[in-house]
Amino acid sequence: MKTRLHAAGADRRDALTLLAGVPLLASLPAVAAPAEPGQSVAWPDVTLLDGSRWGAAQARDKAVIVVFWSTTCPFCLRHNAHVEKLRRATAGQALEILTVARERDPAAVRAYLARHGYGFQVTLDQGPMSASLSMRRVIPLTAVVHRSGRLKHVIPGEMFEEDVMEFRSLA
């Protein structure tokens, strides 16, 4: 028994010795964690529902509110009504509102937006946005980024209208 364990240990050591000279970790892609409050956000380039691109240039020198939601979520429906009200109240100001729909069907998202009269920007690129802001799967989920580009808050769940409207002070 001792001999087999010793031999198995030796085999592992030999394998590790062989791999020691191989730059294995350098060849793996770097996986960045989502920003934590106080850290700078690495904005991904995403495609909006209208086909245009959104990225770091659109966030420069602006506060950014990012809301993750779904067309089938009743809490998101109420929350999005507040987000739309904020969008209208801050039009032309230094506040960017970007939302991230969890759906894959752009037609269903367009129909939802039209049915409820929402005019905020939407991307379906949830993977890159989650990787930058929060991997939490809670919806709605609101991320607040200061105009300095640093993450202020990640707020899970539906918010009251008064709380959403307080984001006007960021503009």
Structural domain contains residue 104? yes
Structural domain contains residue 70? yes
Structural domain contains residue 151? yes
pLDDT of residue 171: 87
Q: Exposure string (b/e) for 72-93, b if CB count within 10 Å is 16 or more? A: ebeebbebbebbbebbeebeee
Q: Say if residues 87 and 161 touch (Cβ distance below 8 Å).
A: no
Beta-bridge partners for 98: 66, 121
Structural domain contains residue 153? yes
Q: What is the pTM of this model?
A: 0.81
CATH number at residue 63: 3.40.30.10
> What confidence tens digit (pLDDT) does each residue in 7-64 have?
444 444 444 343 444 443 333 344 468 999 999 999 999 999 999 999 999 999 999 9
> What confidence tens digit (pLDDT) does each residue in 100-129 have?
999 999 999 999 999 999 999 999 999 999
Backbone angles phi, psi at 33, to 5 degrees: -85, 155
Structural domain contains residue 9? no
Residue 87 lies in domain: 46-170
State the total domains in the chain: 1
